[in-house]
Amino acid sequence: MEPGGKSLPPKYGKSEIVLMVKDPYWIYAYWELDENKKEELKRKVGHQAWLHSRPLLRVYELAGEYADLLQAPYFEIAITDMDDNWYTYTGKPCTTFCADLGRWIPGYGFITIARSNLVTTPADSPSQVIDPLWPPITGLLGSSPFP
């Protein structure tokens, strides 16, 4: 509970998926789907579509020449309707990712319900770039910082 007696709501009533970086090897996604998105899918694909489909997270790797989601390699994670967040091991530092929250519907395939933001995992080693305004100590004093 927040100061003043107010608490945060369990849901915000909007459909979205947010992707975040945990570290060079892991990303984290959290999402919310409101009832309007579910009803919209039922209208488009059929009333039983939600019941006869399975939820999936599709994670796209946008590295190198794969800046286009249609061409990008991806992998899928089977989730449940009860899930609202997921940690994903990518094992790929310095790589950009995007995720779709969707459903696999027999006869239709994968249908995207919400698309995340882009995130880039950091490097897993120190940078090899040396800023000329901040040279290493050995660069200022010679081969050793101590006489």
pTM confidence score: 0.79
Residues 4-31 pLDDT 10s: 778 877 777 788 999 999 999 999 999 9
The pLDDT > 70 percentage for the chain reads: 88
CATH superfamily, with its number, for domain 16-141: Immunoglobulins (2.60.40.10)
Q: Which residue has the higher pLDDT, 74 or 44?
A: 74
Comparing 9 with 101, which gets the higher pLDDT? 101
What pLDDT, on a 0 to 100 scale, did the predictor assign at position 44?
A: 85
- Res 140: pLDDT: 52
Tokens at residue 136, please? 């290493």
Report domain extents, the chain.
Answer: 16-141
**Separation CA 139–CA 19 (nearest Å):** 40
Cα 115 to Cα 17: distance, rounded to the nearest angstrom: 6
What's the CA gap between 145 and 147, in Å, rounded?
7
* Whole-number Å distance between alpha carbons of 41 and 81: 15
